[in-house]
């Protein structure tokens, strides 16, 4: 990499080099590229013999640096001298005033050095800003402090009598205002009695009278001496904080602006620091001089070397052996060693390692980019700038980081473990120790083999039918009810709305249990049904719970009713949000009653609810509770379903039976994986198709 | 179609007072009637009653002599442009405009022709297939206009249809609307609070305030013969100068003794009954004549000058602090704080009864 004759700042502007030795080199290097033969040799010779430390510029620079050092070394002395001359008592004012003096001194010191190096120029510019802005901040704070003092004195000077008198006056005012309000209300009532205004107008007007009286009283109350002055003190305190902070932010961003526009010249040509320091995140930042940032990365280093790596090697595990345990799954282990523990701890170890890798990578990238930018001429970010970047671009990451880490352990860990279990023979005969079996479980499911895999396709079929039928029915019912109830002409809207929300408000559990009992073999509904059908012979008696399709149809109807509330609520909200003038426009355009519903209401409803409706489908796909509570997945048909499942079982309840009741965790996990992938795919497809809908707001 | 309003009044449910009352209006066929008034005076209410969107509390609404109070909006043969646009959010601009014709089962190619025609006039051809949410406020307003246009209704109702357009486009649309009105052969009723729109477009203006009609008539009469002090103050920019005073011996004495005016003969006759009573004198800024005169003159100090190019507005002060606005040609030279003499153009004086605020001459 060549030095070149110019450096580039953060904005992209080129600046001529001020470092004369590097500039010479840069020029030579440029020439070298354009020349050949003898000339080339001469230039190479020159490059080799160019003095480094004895270069006149380097000497001058060194001298200037030494002067700078001794000048800065005296800063403390200057500060003390200054402090003794300040009359202000406020510590911040004292500090800032010293600061101001110091920056003025520095301004004078750096001024003659500006042309020598960009570092000096930057120092000069920074101090110029400080010298210009600090007086303003100091004056502002002084003024506010004085004001605060005065306001506080004012507040404490409120005598008891004064307050009492004002309070008396206020109470009197309040009494009068209440009386006048009552009179006003009485007048309105009279008008209503005479039939001049409607009851709605009566209500409105009374409310208005009350409100205005309340407001008047409150305003008066705020003007009492104590609250008023307290308010003032609070206001000044607030300004002391906010106004001054914002002034400081302006100063900082001014300085940052200068930093972005003043390039840096470094002798280094390759970003070697990032290569050397990548195993220890934070070290690179520390060496560059970004201490606060380094501190955070050092925390990462601690995590990597004290937690992640030892854990993955098996140190500090509960029972497992880190990564090794994940592979062995406690094979040939002690009697108490359980494969599942080994697996979980192995997964945790993997997650730790991934996090560690991420931290290392982030740190490496950070150091490398800072280094590369410095080589190009761009100054590193100071802490203020880093914070600004974090607040802007980094904000989403920072905010979501804790949640992300939690998510990893709450969501990702179980998913990963489930996924891994689906590749093992975790079943009733291998509870404590199981081993990897590859795709065996999936094979059994797809081919419908074995005890557990056998009924898979049957159950899948019913699950699909159930999902489509129950959800569509619920949506239909909810939709129609919402449309009906939100008609202008319907009376008693509140009543209907409440009734239709009941299935939602009452725990579904209760409703399902109720119907489950009603449809039991001797239950009232079964009896009524049989009487209606005229079945008296016990052998002919219809028994919902013993017939596959009987159970299925009742389930669908029940869910249609239960699910409709949600749809109803959703649609009602949207219907009420449709502006009335759309209907007015439609009336003028010639659309009547049903046409308005068809051309305006329904399209808008569909637009807005489509994604949520898809959510309803996925919800029913996994609607465990209704199946389990109504008939426990039954009726059971061992000839078709084996003895692990019933004919109204959904995949989800089947999984439940497999894993929790019958301990076929391996195959259960495999089905879970299939179901999840399927659902994710379908939801994604659905959302993708409705996304265009969603983005068009009303 | 002739539109008549007979003693119409509206009281919203839940309100204590009538919002508007005792409105009598006769809008001839092919009139371009502008309902003008400050915000909240009930313009939209009146228009919506004509459209049939608000019920009529009292009085009769007649279209060509037929009572329309209870007729459905779609059967009134009207089209309306809403103040809030009220575009259908889920339909494209094209479908929005085609909707009313579609509802009338109009033939497809006619619909297409009409929509294209309207889009052409309104310069919205590029946006025909966008949704209302994807176009600007001004464009939406034009779509709303287009939606009403394609119907070719007998009565065309518009509620501040130009309020969101920029000055240039508004000027253009004003002309377009008048042209459209002529070509459609409709009766147009147009609501606005902008007096320029009213003055330039209307064949008839109705000025509403406080729920009652202040004045009805051709635009010129509003300027030349305002019926009361409110109209005098509302119409015209800059606002008419109004001086309060008393009649003594047939001469108007302004309060504070800042000037006296001897009205011309015709006015003097009408002013006789007001001898010794309080009277307000109105004069428009351009009716002052520069120069001193022994009678009917004023002496003022120039306070602020607004240069408009062709003319300049002088905001002047009398010795007692009373203010007035005088407009003079732009090439006259005036400077702030100078003292100048003007006199009244007696032809341009308006006299009002202070008690009733009604016009006297
Ligand atoms: N639906 C309503 N219910 C009760 N009061 C109403 C209703 N609509 C309007 N009003 C009242 O009627 C009065 C007149 O309203 P309107 O909308 O006609 O005013 P406007 O002249 O069109 O004003 P703008 O120029 O601001 O549109 C207002 O005081 C308003 O508060
Ligand atoms: Mg309005």
* Residue A312 domain-assigned (yes or no): yes
Q: Is the pLDDT of residue A341 over 60?
A: yes
Q: Read off φ and ψ for residue A264, nearest 5 degrees.
A: -125, 150
Chain A contact for B173, CB < 8 A? no
Q: pLDDT digit string (tens) for B51-77?
A: 999 999 999 999 998 999 989 888 889
Whether residues A471 and A540 fall in one domain = yes
Whether residues A322 and A375 fall in one domain = yes
Chain A contact for B14, CB < 8 A? yes
Q: Is the pLDDT of residue A144 over 90?
A: yes
Whether residues A676 and A551 fall in one domain = yes
Determine the Cα–Cα distance for residues A253 and A390; give it in Å rounded to an integer.
Answer: 14
Chain B contact for A540, CB < 8 A? no
Q: pLDDT digit string (tens) for A455-481?
A: 888 889 999 999 999 999 999 999 888
Across A56-70, A523-537, A654-668, the highest mean pLDDT is recorded for A56-70
- What are A134's two structure tokens? 């600090």
A304, A281 in Cβ contact below 8 A?
Answer: yes
Q: How many CA atoms lie within 13 A of B105 on its CB side?
A: 1
* Nearest CA-CA distance, residue B11 and chain A, Å: 9
User: Looking at residue B161, what is its pLDDT?
Assistant: 87
* Residue A296 domain-assigned (yes or no): yes
Q: Any idea which of A78-87, A361-370, A394-403 has the lowest mean pLDDT? A: A394-403
Question: Would you tell me the crossing angle of helices A339-376 and A291-303 to the nearest 10 degrees?
Answer: 160
User: Looking at residue A540, what is its pLDDT?
Assistant: 67
CATH of the domain at A503: 1.10.3720.10
Whether residues A352 and A314 fall in one domain = yes
Q: Any idea which of A338-342, A539-543, B261-265 has the lowest mean pLDDT? A: A539-543
Cβ contact, residue pair B131, A696, below 8 Å: yes
Q: Which atom of ligand 1 approaches the CA of B48 most closely?
A: 18
Neighbours of A448 (CB within 10 A): 12
* Nearest CA-CA distance, residue A207 and chain B, Å: 12
Q: Is the pLDDT of residue A293 over 90?
A: no
Q: Is the pLDDT of residue A69 over 90?
A: yes
User: Looking at residue A321, what is its pLDDT?
Assistant: 84
Measure CB to CB from residue A200 to each of B13, B73, B134 and give the nearest one.
Answer: B13
Q: What is the mean pLDDT of residues B94-109?
A: 92
* Residue A6 domain-assigned (yes or no): no
Q: Is the pLDDT of residue A454 over 80?
A: no
Determine the Cα–Cα distance for residues A488 and B272; give it in Å rounded to an integer.
Answer: 61
Expressed as residue numbers, the domain containing A606 is 440-689
From residue A625, give the alpha-carbon distance in Å to each of A418, A527, A545, A656, B137: 22, 26, 17, 11, 51
Q: Is the pLDDT of residue A698 over 50?
A: no
User: Looking at residue A318, what is its pLDDT?
Assistant: 81
Whether residues A568 and A664 fall in one domain = yes
* Residue A194 domain-assigned (yes or no): yes
User: Looking at residue A692, what is its pLDDT?
Assistant: 52
User: Looking at residue A404, what is its pLDDT?
Assistant: 82
CATH code of domain B241-353: 2.40.50.140
Last residue of a domain, one of A421, A451, A471: A421
User: Looking at residue A541, what is its pLDDT?
Assistant: 67
Measure CB to CB from residue A587 to each of B73, B133, B147 and give the nearest one.
Answer: B73
Q: Is the pLDDT of residue B112 over 90?
A: yes
Ligand closest to Cα of A584 equals 1
Write the CB contacts of B267 (distance below 8 Å, at least 6 apart in sequence): B346, B349, B351, B360, B361
- Closest chain A residue to B14 measured between Cα atoms? A201
Neighbours of A664 (CB within 10 A): 25
B9, B38, B42, B192, best to mutate for ligand 1 pocket (most atoms within 8 Å of CB) = B42
- What are B62's two structure tokens? 């007649």
Q: Any idea which of A538-552, A672-686, B20-34, B164-178 has the lowest mean pLDDT? A: A538-552
pLDDT over 90 for what percent of chain B?
Answer: 43
Task: Write down the ipTM of this complex.
Answer: 0.82
Please list every protein residue whose CB sits less than 6 Å from any atom of ligand 1: B 12, 15, 19, 37, 39-45, 83, 193
Chain A contact for B333, CB < 8 A? no
* Residue A661 domain-assigned (yes or no): yes
User: Looking at residue A265, what is its pLDDT?
Assistant: 86
Q: For chain A, what is the mean pLDDT?
A: 87
| Cis upstream peptide for A635 (omega within 30°) | yes
Write the CB contacts of B74 (distance below 8 Å, at least 6 apart in sequence): A587, A588, A589, A590, A591, A592, B103
B213: three-class secondary structure by DSSP? strand
Q: pLDDT digit string (tens) for A371-411?
A: 988 888 888 888 888 888 877 777 777 777 888 888 878 88
- What are A460's two structure tokens? 């899948």
Last residue of a domain, one of A388, A421, A454: A421
Q: pLDDT digit string (tens) for A244-281?
A: 999 999 999 999 999 888 988 888 888 888 888 889 99
Residues in chain A with CB shorter than 8 Å from the CB of B52 are 587-588
Specify the higher pLDDT residue, B286 or A449. B286
Q: Any idea which of A89-93, A304-308, B163-167 has the lowest mean pLDDT? A: B163-167
Q: Is the pLDDT of residue A128 over 90?
A: yes
Domain definitions of chain B by residue range: 3-77+153-234, 89-152, 241-353
Chain A contact for B90, CB < 8 A? yes
**Range B3-77+153-234 has CATH code 3.40.50.300:** yes
Residue nearest to atom 30 of ligand 1 (CA): B40
The candidate with the shortest Cα–Cα distance to A385, out of A262, A245, A259, is A259
Q: Is the pLDDT of residue B206 over 70?
A: yes
Whether residues A447 and A475 fall in one domain = yes
Q: Which atom of ligand 1 approaches the CA of B46 most closely?
A: 18
Whether residues A291 and A353 fall in one domain = yes
Write the CB contacts of B13 (distance below 8 Å, at least 6 apart in sequence): A198, A200, A201
Q: Is A86 left (phi over 0), alpha (psi -120 to 50) or beta?
A: beta
Whether residues A450 and A488 fall in one domain = yes
Residues in chain A with CB shorter than 8 Å from the CB of B74 are 587-592
Q: pLDDT digit string (tens) for A492-547?
A: 778 888 888 887 788 888 988 998 888 888 788 888 888 887 776 666 667 777 78
- What are A615's two structure tokens? 């959510």
Specify the higher pLDDT residue, A222 or A148. A148
Whether residues A371 and A497 fall in one domain = no
Q: Is A404 left (phi over 0), alpha (psi -120 to 50) or beta?
A: alpha
Q: What is the mean pLDDT of residues B274-287?
A: 91
Determine the Cα–Cα distance for residues A668 and A670; give it in Å rounded to an integer.
Answer: 5
Q: How confident is the model at residue B359 (pLDDT cuts 50, 70, 90)?
A: very high
Q: Is the pLDDT of residue A693 over 60?
A: no
The candidate with the shortest Cα–Cα distance to B50, out of B37, B41, B60, B38, is B60
Determine the Cα–Cα distance for residues A455 and A32; give it in Å rounded to an integer.
Answer: 80
A98, A82 in Cβ contact below 8 A?
Answer: yes
Chain A contact for B51, CB < 8 A? yes
Residue among B10, B57, B89 with most chain A CBs within 10 A, to mutate: B89
Domains of chain A: total: 4
* Residue A92 domain-assigned (yes or no): yes
* Nearest CA-CA distance, residue B142 and chain A, Å: 15
pLDDT over 90 for what percent of chain A?
Answer: 31
* Residue A11 domain-assigned (yes or no): no
C-alpha torsion A507→A508→A511→A516, nearest 10: -130
Whether residues A601 and A570 fall in one domain = yes
Residues in chain A with CB shorter than 8 Å from the CB of B15 are 197, 201, 204
A114: three-class secondary structure by DSSP? coil
Cβ contact, residue pair B100, A590, below 8 Å: yes
Whether residues A571 and A521 fall in one domain = yes
Whether residues A377 and A450 fall in one domain = no
Determine the Cα–Cα distance for residues A691 and A196; give it in Å rounded to an integer.
Answer: 53
């Amino acid at each position: 990499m060549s030095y070149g004759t110019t450096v580039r700042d953060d904005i992209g502007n080129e600046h001529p080099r001020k470092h004369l030795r590097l500039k010479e080199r840069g020029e030579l290097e440029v020439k070298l590229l354009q020349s050949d033969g003898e000339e080339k040799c001469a230039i190479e010779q020159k490059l080799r013999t160019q003095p480094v430390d004895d270069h006149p510029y380097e000497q001058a620079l060194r001298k200037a640096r030494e002067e700078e050092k001794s000048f800065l070394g005296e800063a403390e002395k200057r500060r003390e001298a200054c402090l003794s001359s300040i009359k202000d008592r406020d510590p911040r004012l004292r500090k800032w005033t010293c600061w101001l003096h110091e920056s003025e001194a520095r301004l004078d010191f750096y001024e003659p050095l500006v042309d020598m190096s960009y570092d000096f120029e930057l120092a000069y510019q920074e101090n110029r800003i400080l010298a210009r802005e600090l007086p303003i901040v100091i004056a502002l704070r002084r003024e506010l402090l004085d004001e605060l003092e005065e306001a506080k004195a004012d507040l404490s000077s409120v005598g008891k009598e004064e307050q009492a008198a004002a309070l008396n006056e206020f109470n009197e005012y309040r009494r009068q205002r209440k009386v006048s309000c009552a009179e006003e209300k009485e007048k309105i009532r009279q008008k209503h009695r005479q039939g001049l205004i409607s009851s709605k107008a009566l209500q409105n007007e009374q409310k208005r009278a009350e409100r205005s009286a309340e407001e008047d009283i409150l305003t008066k109350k705020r003007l009492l001496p104590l609250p008023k002055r307290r308010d003032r003190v609070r206001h000044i305190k607030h300004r002391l904080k906010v106004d001054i902070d914002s002034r400081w932010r302006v100063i900082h961003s001014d300085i940052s602006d200068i930093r972005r526009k003043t390039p840096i010249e470094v002798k280094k040509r390759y970003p070697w620091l990032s290569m050397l320091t990548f195993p220890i995140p934070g070290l690179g930042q520390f060496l560059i001089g970004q201490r606060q940032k380094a501190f955070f990365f050092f925390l990462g280093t601690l995590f990597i070397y004290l937690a992640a790596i030892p854990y993955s090697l098996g140190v500090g595990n509960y029972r497992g052996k880190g990564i090794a345990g994940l592979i062995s799954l406690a094979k040939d282990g002690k009697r108490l060693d359980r494969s599942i523990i080994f697996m979980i701890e192995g997964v945790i170890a993997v997650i730790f390692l991934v996090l560690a890798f991420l931290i290392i990578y982030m740190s490496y990238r950070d150091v490398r980019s800072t280094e590369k930018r410095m080589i190009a001429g761009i100054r590193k970010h100071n802490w203020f700038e880093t914070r600004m970047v974090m607040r802007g671009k980094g904000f989403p990451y920072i905010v979501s980081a804790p949640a992300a880490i939690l998510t990893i352990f709450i969501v990702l860990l179980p998913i990963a473990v489930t996924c891994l279990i689906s590749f093992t023979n975790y079943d009733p005969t291998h509870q404590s120790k199981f081993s990897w079996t590859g795709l065996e479980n999936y094979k059994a499911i797809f081919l419908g083999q074995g005890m557990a895999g056998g009924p898979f396709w049957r159950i899948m079929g019913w699950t699909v039918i159930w999902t489509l039928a129950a959800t569509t029915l619920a949506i239909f019912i909810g939709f129609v009810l919402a449309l009906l109830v939100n008609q202008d002409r319907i009376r008693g809207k509140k009543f209907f709305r409440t009734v239709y929300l009941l299935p939602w408000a009452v725990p579904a559990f209760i409703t399902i249990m109720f119907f489950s009992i009603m449809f039991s073999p001797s239950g009232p509904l079964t009896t009524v049904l049989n009487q209606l059908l005229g079945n008296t012979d016990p052998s002919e008696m219809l028994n919902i719970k013993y017939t596959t399709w009987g159970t299925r149809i009742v389930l669908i109807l029940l869910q249609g009713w239960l699910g409709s509330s949600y749809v109803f609520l959703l649609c009602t909200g949207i219907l009420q949000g449709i502006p009335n003038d759309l209907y007015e426009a439609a009336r003028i355009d010639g659309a009547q009653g049903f046409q308005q519903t068809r051309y305006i209401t329904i399209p808008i409803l569909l637009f807005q609810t489509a994604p949520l409706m898809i959510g309803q489908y996925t919800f029913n796909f996994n609607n465990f509770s209704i199946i389990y509570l109504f008939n426990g997945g039954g009726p059971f048909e061992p000839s078709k379903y084996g003895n692990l499942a019933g004919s109204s079982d959904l995949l989800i309840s089947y999984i439940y039976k497999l894993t929790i009741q019958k301990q076929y965790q391996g195959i259960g996990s495999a089905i879970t994986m299939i179901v999840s992938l399927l659902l994710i795919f379908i939801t994604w497809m659905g959302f993708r198709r409705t996304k265009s809908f969603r983005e068009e707001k009303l | 179609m002739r539109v008549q309003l007979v003693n119409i009044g509206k009281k919203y449910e839940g309100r204590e007072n009538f919002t508007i009352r005792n409105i009598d209006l006769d809008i001839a066929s092919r009139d371009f009637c502008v309902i003008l008034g400050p915000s909240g005076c009930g313009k939209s209410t009146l228009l919506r009653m004509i459209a049939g969107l608000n019920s009529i509390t009292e009085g009769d609404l007649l279209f060509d002599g037929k009572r329309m109070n209870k007729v459905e909006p779609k059967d009134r043969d009207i089209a309306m442009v809403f103040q809030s646009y009220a575009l259908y959010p889920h339909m494209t601009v094209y479908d929005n405009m085609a909707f009313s014709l579609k509802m009338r089962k109009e033939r497809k190619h006619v619909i297409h022709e009409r929509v294209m025609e309207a889009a052409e006039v309104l310069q919205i051809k590029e946006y025909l297939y966008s949704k209302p949410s994807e176009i600007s406020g001004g464009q939406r307003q034009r779509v709303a206009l287009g939606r009403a246009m394609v119907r070719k209704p007998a009565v065309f109702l518009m509620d501040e249809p130009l309020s969101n357009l920029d000055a240039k486009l508004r000027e253009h649309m004003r002309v377009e609307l008048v042209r459209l009105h002529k070509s459609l052969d409709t009766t147009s009723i147009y609501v606005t609070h902008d007096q320029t729109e009213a003055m330039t477009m209307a064949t008839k203006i109705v000025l509403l305030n406080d729920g009652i009609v202040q004045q009805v008539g051709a635009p010129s009469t509003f300027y030349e013969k305002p019926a009361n002090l409110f109209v005098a103050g509302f119409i015209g920019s800059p606002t008419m100068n109004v001086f309060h005073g008393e009649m003594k011996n047939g001469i108007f004495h302004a309060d504070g003794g800042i000037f006296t005016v001897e009205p011309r003969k015709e006015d003097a006759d009408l002013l006789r009954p007001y001898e010794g009573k309080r009277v307000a004198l109105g004069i428009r800024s351009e009716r002052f004549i520069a120069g001193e005169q022994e009678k009917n003159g004023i002496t003022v100090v120039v306070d602020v000058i607004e240069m408009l190019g062709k003319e300049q507005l002088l905001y002047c002060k009398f010795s007692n602090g009373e203010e007035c606005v005088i407009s003079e040609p732009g090439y006259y030279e005036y400077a702030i704080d100078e003292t100048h003499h003007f006199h009244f153009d007696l032809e341009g004086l308006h006299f009002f009864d202070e008690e009733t605020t009604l016009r006297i001459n």
